[in-house]
Amino acid sequence: MHDSNVIIDGLQYINWDRPLFERARDSGINAVHVTVSYWENNRETISNISQWHRHFQNHHDLIMPVREAADILEAKRLGKLGIIFGYQNCSPIEDDLGLVQIHYELGARIMQLSYNNQSLLASGCYESEDTGVTRFGREAIKEMNRVGMVIDMSHSGERSTLEAIDLSQRPIAITHANPTFFHDALRNKSDQVLRALANSGGMLGFSMYPFHLKHGSDCTLEDFCQMIAKTADMMGIDNIGIGSDLCEQWEYSKLEWMRSGRWTFGADYGEGSAGNKEWPQQPGWFRDSRDIKNVADGLAQHGFSQEDVNKVMGGNWLRFFEHSFGPSQ
């Protein structure tokens, strides 16, 4: 089934409409992991999924759901954009382990154990003390392994991430983050995490979100590709991909929702500039999905072989999903 010549974006958060579906499809992207939930509880997440069902109905000529890796190849064959449901927090399962399977059956294939803050499952990267994976988190990891839902630690703390890698019987993912050697942002990952991730067969998706890039919006494509090359030397070429963390067509209030949810009455500015009421500007070489092939061209110019370019742009994600989506044997 494997096809290395696919393009997969490991994470986007888009206020989708038909023109944006067309833009992503026409860019050459075959599948994208979309954010269905941040702080939404079970009922609210189901409402978001209902909205996606309407998207699938209204734009069936452009998009299709991805429930197994083979669906990505089918989307490519049909000239459609494959949609992978993911949660950037564990809030949809509330405090009920049984909801893991329910949400898997609703289409969720990826879930973060925490989003910046301490959750019921693990500590987030913004907490001053990371107490690791909780008792509930250990059970959730087992259940996610069983049903075939990928564990994502993109916004989790160092100890929690290392423990999740160790506890999980199936490789985990960090769908959208960069190494700290490139930029020392709170959410970027240490060499220790990256080596443990690679040794376990996990995946790292490189982010183009400006707050996680060296020099922010002024990061160059060459710098970005050099980071990928150095990470490939550390982790191996088979354990890396793209997770752009592209955010489009949202009002600033949505950025505050992402950061602050309902856990604070104030604004949590995170790693952004306090008081800045705008989304950060994307680097010029990746303004939106139409520029995804700039990354492939940059990697080739940096000296990557075509085979390795294909792996980074989507082949590695496809192989990872082949072994990750679906019940454990």
Domains detected in the chain: 8-324 (3.20.20.140)
Contacts (Cβ under 8 Å, ≥6 apart) of 297 = none
Task: State the amino acid at position 270 in one-letter form.
Answer: G
C-alpha 125/C-alpha 265 separation (Å) is 20
Lowest mean pLDDT segment, chosen from 3-17, 49-63, 189-203, 311-325? 3-17
Q: Quick one: CA dihedral 127, 128, 133, 135, positive or negative?
A: negative
* Whether the Cβ atoms of residue 29 and residue 317 lie closer than 8 Å to each other: no
Q: Where are the beta strands (DSSP E) in 38-179?
A: 63-65, 81-87, 108-112, 150-152, 173-174
% of the chain at pLDDT higher than 70: 96
**What backbone phi and psi angles, to 5 degrees, belong to 298?**
-65, -40
- Report how far apart the first and last C-alpha atoms of the chain are (Å, whole number): 19
- The number of angstroms, rounded, from the C-alpha of 246 to the middle of its chain's C-alpha atoms is 10
Nearest by Cα to 258 from 187, 193, 197, 203: 187
Rounded to the nearest 10 degrees, the angle between the axes of helix 158-167 and helix 135-147 is 50
pLDDT number for residue 268: 80
What's the average model confidence in pLDDT over 50-73? 98
pLDDT number for residue 258: 87
What's the average model confidence in pLDDT over 113-123? 97
Report the chain's mean pLDDT, rounded to a whole number.
Answer: 95
C-alpha 230/C-alpha 128 separation (Å) is 29
pLDDT number for residue 282: 96
pLDDT number for residue 270: 67
Three-class DSSP category at 196: helix
pLDDT tens string 288-309: 999 999 999 999 999 999 999 9
Angle among Cα 209, 20, 208 to the nearest 5 degrees reads 10
pLDDT number for residue 165: 98
C-alpha 194/C-alpha 232 separation (Å) is 10
pLDDT tens string 247-284: 999 988 888 888 899 999 987 876 655 556 778 899 99
Tokens of 2: 């494997």
Contacts (Cβ under 8 Å, ≥6 apart) of 130 = 123, 157, 158, 159, 160
pLDDT number for residue 1: 42
Residue 174 pairs with which residues in a beta bridge? 204
18 membership: H or E segment, kind and range? helix 18-26
pTM for the whole structure = 0.96
- Which residue bears the tokens 């990891």? 141
C-alpha 120/C-alpha 113 separation (Å) is 8
pLDDT tens string 162-218: 999 999 999 999 999 999 999 999 999 999 999 999 999 999 999 999 999 999 999
